[in-house]
Amino acid sequence: MTEYDNTNTGAVFKPFPNNEFILEGKLDIEKAQHKIVVIKGKTKDGTPIMKLYTELCCLFPNDNDNANAPQYSGNCIERFQFNDDEKVRLASWIKEKDGNKYMSLQISTGNKPKEKLENIIPDIAEDSIPF
């Protein structure tokens, strides 16, 4: 039996009912600007929390007649680039399962969609984050 390989793929769905988009802005980390959003939610035991997320990519609609082509795609922001010659791209297809729509996602570098993500995005543990 072969194991399913979900490297560089993902999916996004409607938010959980207890999540609420409450703020957006930017944060300077070591002189690098990061666009962020804040989601208000609760843990499983009901404790209120706020989660901060940073920008990865901006997706644009594709004008392609090929039925297999992604409906949306875009280049990931610079800090997620592998090197100057190779852009990291995110592609997205709108799908439906059991009456629920979702977006299927795939990351690729040039023509190499299965390259390991740790080779693309630097290890955060190596960065000197002051907190």
Beta bridge partners of 35: 26
**Long-range contacts (CB closer than 8 Å, 24 or more residues apart) made by 56-64:** 56/80, 56/90, 57/90, 59/90, 59/92
Which DSSP string corresponds to 67-127? TTS-SEEEEBPGGG-SBTTB-EEEEEEEEEETTEEEEEEEEEETTBTTS-GGGTSPPGGGS
Q: What does the domain layout of the chain look like in residue ranges?
A: 9-124
User: Does this model's pTM top 0.85?
Assistant: no
Report residue 81 as tokens: 């680039």
pLDDT tens across 33-83, in order?
889 999 999 998 999 999 999 988 899 999 888 889 999 999 887 766 666
If one compares 86 and 27, the residue with the highest pLDDT of the two is 27
